[in-house]
Amino acid sequence: MNNQRWLSISFLAFFFTWGVFLPYWTGWLTIEKGLSVTSASVIMGAGMIARALSTFLIFPYMTQRISLIRTIRWLSFVALILALLYLPNSSFSVLLIITMLFSAIYPMILPAVESGASILIKTDRIHYGKSRSFGSFAYTIALLLIGAATAIWSEQAILYMMIAGLAAATLFFMRPAPAALQVNPVKTDKKDRSIDIKALFTSKGFAVVLLLVILLQGAHASYYNFGFIFLDDLGVNGFYIGVILNVAVLFEILFFTQADKWLANMRVSTMFLIAGIGSTVRWLAISLFPLTSVFIGSQLLHAASFGVAHFAFIKFISEKLPNHQIAAAQGMYAAFAMSLSTAILTFPGGYLYDISPRLAFLGMIVCSVPAIIIVFMTRKKYAY
């Protein structure tokens, strides 16, 4: 198996489970476990805080002591064991503990695979967008399967699909991996690691780019946590909810398959500007016009609000950072942009949703609009 194919299947293996967890887990907690939207939001928010801490502290620690592929293998195996703990009926407090543990371990697989991608871009010149599109495709398949399964059986199918997906991912990651990912890291002491982090933040433009992805990815909090419930409240059948959520991923797939070509000569700051504008328009449309048709139309903007912002960060760290700083940068991205900002916004998002579902989406422009302003203020100074 060549390295491009290995990376493609790695993204496919992880994002199939991500397509189960990200859009459906809050709905599964409310429908199958009988929690209120507010209670489920507390559990998911706490889980995302645990995820932020683990990706910021535990993930870099692991990658400094064992190879990247061993890190991926251990994370996938432990995540599978934790997913099995959801099977028995549990109280709110037990679900909170399980979700915090699961959220601390399982999502770390993503920055590990993304770190591998950044390294392979340098060592093998693989096409990132081509492999990442396999992840989006797997996400699409998961949404369709969950939509069909919940329409035919019950929401408990969400958990069974998650367990099956993690088992398949674990088996794949046990197979031979690219040599560049099997290299054991050079051990460093705590002082060296603190210097490494300091050097990362002193890299020209990194702090600004990190802030931008924190704002733009955090702005998806209401969509990820309440999109399924929002459509359910609009009276959409479970199967068609899966189809509607897939519209966003289909455009994400299209974007990633062409991103290496389309954005080859585009400045990172211009990408962030596109993402910020797309994000703002997306959340305004849903909040001002709470209709199924408008929600479907807004899904087209996922390629901008998520895809372009994500590609911009990957391009920045691949071109501007040395190999030994990439895992730390990915850990920060996963911790702060993909976890902590989303976690923080989940709490007010749940509160606003109980008042009016429209407000939960309108509130997300508190992140997207400042991102646009920051790009205009910093793009010349930091030349990113």
pLDDT value at 76 more than 90 = yes
C-alpha span between 256 and 254 (Å, rounded): 6
327 neighbors 58 (Cβ within 8 angstroms): no
Percent of the chain with pLDDT over 90: 44
Over residues 90-106, the mean pLDDT reads 94
Over residues 178-188, the mean pLDDT reads 76
What was the pLDDT predicted at 186? 60
pLDDT interval class at 156 (50, 70, 90): confident
pLDDT value at 144 more than 90 = no
pLDDT interval class at 77 (50, 70, 90): very high
Own/partner long-range contacts of 287-290 (Cβ < 8 Å, ≥24 apart): 287/358, 287/359, 287/361, 287/362, 288/358, 288/362, 290/230, 290/234, 290/357, 290/358
What was the pLDDT predicted at 319? 84
141 neighbors 245 (Cβ within 8 angstroms): no
Over residues 226-238, the mean pLDDT reads 87
Averaged confidence pLDDT in the chain: 88
What was the pLDDT predicted at 325? 81
Interval 339-377: pLDDT, tens: 788 878 888 888 898 889 999 999 999 999 999 999 999
pLDDT interval class at 129 (50, 70, 90): confident
What was the pLDDT predicted at 194? 55
Over residues 164-183, the mean pLDDT reads 92
Per DSSP, 86 falls in state T
Over residues 53-63, the mean pLDDT reads 85
pLDDT value at 299 more than 90 = yes
Over residues 71-95, the mean pLDDT reads 94
pLDDT interval class at 190 (50, 70, 90): low
What was the pLDDT predicted at 193? 52
Over residues 258-273, the mean pLDDT reads 89
pLDDT value at 236 more than 60 = yes
Spell out the residues 6+ positions from residue 354 whose beta carbon is closer than 8 angstroms to its own.
Answer: 37, 38
pTM value is 0.74
pLDDT value at 191 more than 60 = no
Q: Write the CA distances from 60 to 40, 63, 190, integer angstroms.
A: 29, 5, 12
